[in-house]
């Protein structure tokens, strides 16, 4: 025959009142548990002795997180580490900049760090020529000083091919890319953009029959928060030639 054990209302209330519902460490380093009834239990010391000081690898500075803007206010450095899982199940992580201001040293050396104003965005440059193989798309790194950057979209000292869209800056961006090519009268010159490492999208493909060649490309592109966009170029002269310089502008004109 089966038997059933039951509890009276008083016993159920006793069990409920003895349940632990909260805990906190007091100034003595003891864990104090709080029961449903309001009674407390000292669970003992939970804070150990102070260990040796840690080490820091890098350059610390009191002004690194206080970057002056044109109007006298300061910006701050915010970063977020994002993790994604690729098709093979491998976890990939990437440090993403959120409204990241450059360090004080970096600001003084390379930036005109200004307020957002009516149009957020950046103007980035490359002034050092480099070799471009024939019939091969090449990623363009913008390592020159930025002419404008309203929310730390770009860092010419790190991942300089990328323009990041800061947090809460998603929207439509007018993208204009000017490239000066080495003198050569043969072939085409192409400009492309790529979002988050995806497929290349053509901005322009122009014939270069006039010798000294400038190419100009424009696209209006919608970019989400934390996207990054990169510029690629292509030439089909039949030989190796130089890209002499480039300027690219990213201007947000609509949400």
Domain positions in the chain:
9-44, 114-254
Kindly write down the DSSP assignment for every residue of 110-142, as one continuous string. Answer: H--B---TTS-EEEEEE-S-EEE-TT--EE---
Tokens of 155: 């860092």
Distance CA 34, CA 19 (A): 8
pLDDT band at 183 (very low <50, low <70, confident <90, very high): confident
Q: Between residues 21 and 216, which one has the greater pLDDT? A: 216
Tokens of 50: 């102070």
pLDDT of 64 reads 36
Q: Between residues 201 and 58, which one has the greater pLDDT? A: 201
pLDDT in tens, 78-103: 333 334 344 444 333 333 333 333 34
pLDDT in tens, 127-176: 999 899 998 899 999 999 999 999 889 999 999 999 999 988 999 999 99
Kindly write down the DSSP assignment for every residue of 60-96, as one continuous string. Answer: --TTTT-EE-TTS-EE---EEEEEEE-TTS-EEEEEE
pLDDT of 77 reads 35
pLDDT of 54 reads 54
Element (H, E) at 109: helix 104-110
Mean pLDDT on 218-223 = 95
Distance CA 55, CA 148 (A): 36
Distance CA 156, CA 249 (A): 14
Please give the angle made by the CA atoms of 120, 166 and 160, to the nearest 5 degrees: 90
pLDDT in tens, 33-76: 777 788 888 877 776 666 666 544 444 333 333 433 334 444 43
pLDDT of 154 reads 95
Cβ–Cβ under 8 Å, residues 233 and 184: no
Q: Which CATH class is domain 114-254?
A: mainly beta
Cβ–Cβ under 8 Å, residues 181 and 208: yes
Q: Between residues 31 and 141, which one has the greater pLDDT? A: 141
pLDDT band at 249 (very low <50, low <70, confident <90, very high): very high
């Amino acid at each position: 025959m089966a038997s059933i054990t039951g509890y009276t209302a008083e016993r159920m209330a006793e069990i409920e009142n003895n349940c632990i519902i909260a805990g906190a460490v007091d100034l003595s380093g003891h864990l104090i548990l709080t029961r449903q009834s309001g009674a407390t239990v000292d669970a003992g010391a939970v804070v150990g002795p102070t260990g040796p000081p840690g080490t820091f690898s890098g350059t610390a500075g009191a002004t690194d997180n206080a970057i002056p803007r044109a109007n006298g206010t300061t910006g701050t450095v915010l970063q977020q580490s994002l993790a994604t899982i690729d098709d093979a199940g491998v976890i990939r992580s990437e440090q993403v900049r959120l409204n990241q201001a450059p360090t004080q040293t970096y600001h003084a050396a390379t930036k005109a760090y200004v307020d957002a104003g009516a149009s957020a965005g950046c103007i980035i440059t490359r002034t050092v020529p480099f070799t471009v193989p024939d019939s091969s798309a090449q990623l363009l790194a913008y390592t020159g000083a930025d002419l404008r950057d309203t929310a730390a979209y770009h860092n010419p000292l790190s991942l300089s091919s990328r323009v990041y869209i800061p947090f809460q800056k998603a929207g439509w961006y007018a993208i204009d890319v000017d490239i000066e090519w080495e003198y050569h009268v043969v072939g085409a010159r192409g400009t492309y953009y790529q979002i988050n490492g995806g497929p290349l999208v053509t901005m322009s493909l122009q014939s270069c029959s006039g010798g000294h060649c400038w190419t100009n490309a424009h696209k209006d592109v919608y970019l989400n928060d934390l996207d990054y966009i990169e510029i690629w170029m292509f030439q089909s002269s039949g030989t190796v030639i130089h890209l002499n310089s480039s300027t690219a502008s990213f201007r947000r004109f609509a949400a």
